[in-house]
Amino acid sequence: MQLRRLPASRSLSPSSLTSRAVAAVALAATVVTVAGCATGTAPSAQSLAAGSGSAAPAAGTVTLVTHDSFHLPDQVLAAFTRKTGLTVKTVEFGDAGTLATKLTLTAGSPPGDVSFGVDNTFASRTLTGGVFVPYTSPAAVNGADAYGIPGENRLTAVDYGDVCVNIDTRYFAAHDLPEPTGYSDLADPRYRGLTSLEDPDTASPGLAFLLGTIATMGDGAAGAPGYPGGWQAYWTKLKGNDVTVTSDWNTTYSTDFSGSSGKGPKPIVVSYASSPADEVVPGANGAPDTSPTKALLDTCFRQVEFAGVLRGAKNPEGAREFIDFLLSQQAQVAVPESMYVYPVTRGVPLPATWERFAPAPPHPATMAASAIAAGRDGWLRTWRTLMGR
């Protein structure tokens, strides 16, 4: 079964978590054991207590700490077990922000051996917190090192995704309205009330979209060429153009968006460059497949997801082997249709529908992890003021 990537479920900013919420998350962590192609019995709650150190892991087990959108097919994980003799047990903490917070709170006494899912918007928080130990996978030279954090050897890139504006092309044809092509159109009165996007305080696509506007338009009164007033002036115009701001990606994409299953009222949303591939339908009378949606590739911000060996891991060798495996051809080829992201290993083919409907943006906006760390909290405060939230 093909899983839709659910970035909104990995959304909460660590700064928004109270200590009570963190404790609740720890108690609610989902544990799944995969042995070959079978699912085993979940371990006891005592064995999950963060930093308890009360019991060593079962022989031949490597524990992966991740977010709840991690998924690789059972047969892929079974191949890892056959190759290494290690069974993968996963401990899931709901979203990217929660994952980063949990890992930082348990640095040195982690709930597992290896983590996957910290991305470039939260990486600095875990690195400053001493969550990971150095490890450079020999497989990284096959492409992953190009997506890494410069000068940093504690995190290994595993996949990337691009947050972009998506549109429902059928809506614009039916309403005899030109399709929007870039950021500026979202603030154009012709498109008043047609856009739904996610709150950057509570949804990772919303934060990525905000960062994309900052990287493109500049910060402050001078702004970047073509964007006087910078991102602040742009967002003021967006508010005046009646954009809808939701708390999560699922509401924006699956409820508000007219181009997806919710068939809502909004033909412009913030989602992923890969989303149009998930909307592909067979053409009529044997015609080629078509997608009713497309991503605007000039509005994209790149997110990179990393894996790392956790400081204090009980099975650091198993952790290293798992990172190596995540970069293998077998694991990377499963990444697009399992998690709706792009592989980092060179030579890994994309599904045929992705080649047509979900090409990787050639020039996405990017921002250094250190710049995100330095600016994020201030930018979010300014955004809340601008949007009256």
Strand intervals (E) in 72-185: 87-92, 114-119, 132-133, 156-168
pTM: 0.80
For residue 57, pLDDT beyond 80: no
- Domains, in order of start, for the chain: 7-161+303-357 (3.40.190.10), 162-301+362-387 (3.40.190.10)
Query: Considering only 42-56, 113-127, 267-281, 345-359, which range has the smallest mean pLDDT?
Result: 42-56
For residue 333, pLDDT beyond 50: yes
Q: 381: which 2 tokens?
A: 């405060």
CA quadruple 204, 67, 294, 145: dihedral positive or negative? Answer: positive
Give per-residue pLDDT as tens, 291-319.
Answer: 999 999 999 999 999 999 999 999 999 99
3-state helix, strand, coil in the chain (%, to 5): 40, 20, 40
What is the per-residue pLDDT for 203? 84
What is the per-residue pLDDT for 54? 40
> How far is the C-alpha of 175 from the C-alpha of 152, rounded, in Å?
50
Better-predicted residue by pLDDT, 98 or 119 = 119
Give per-residue pLDDT as tens, 131-147.
Answer: 999 999 999 999 999 99
Query: Considering only 94-108, 162-176, 329-343, 363-377, which range has the smallest mean pLDDT?
Result: 94-108
CA quadruple 357, 360, 362, 365: dihedral positive or negative? Answer: positive
Nearest C-alpha neighbor of 61 from the set 76, 46, 80, 74: 80
Give per-residue pLDDT as tens, 346-357.
Answer: 999 999 899 899
Q: Say if residues 183 and 216 touch (Cβ distance below 8 Å).
A: yes
Average pLDDT over the chain reads: 86
Counting residues of the chain whose pLDDT is more than 90, the rounded percentage is 72
What is the per-residue pLDDT for 69? 84
Longest dimension (CA), the chain: 66
CB atoms closer than 10 angstroms to residue 45: 10
355 beta partners:
none
For residue 10, pLDDT beyond 80: no
What is the per-residue pLDDT for 220? 87
Sequence-separated (6 or more) residues with CB below 8 Å from residue 288 = none
What is the per-residue pLDDT for 36? 40
What is the per-residue pLDDT for 27? 37
Give per-residue pLDDT as tens, 14-46.
Answer: 333 333 333 333 433 444 444 343 333 333 333
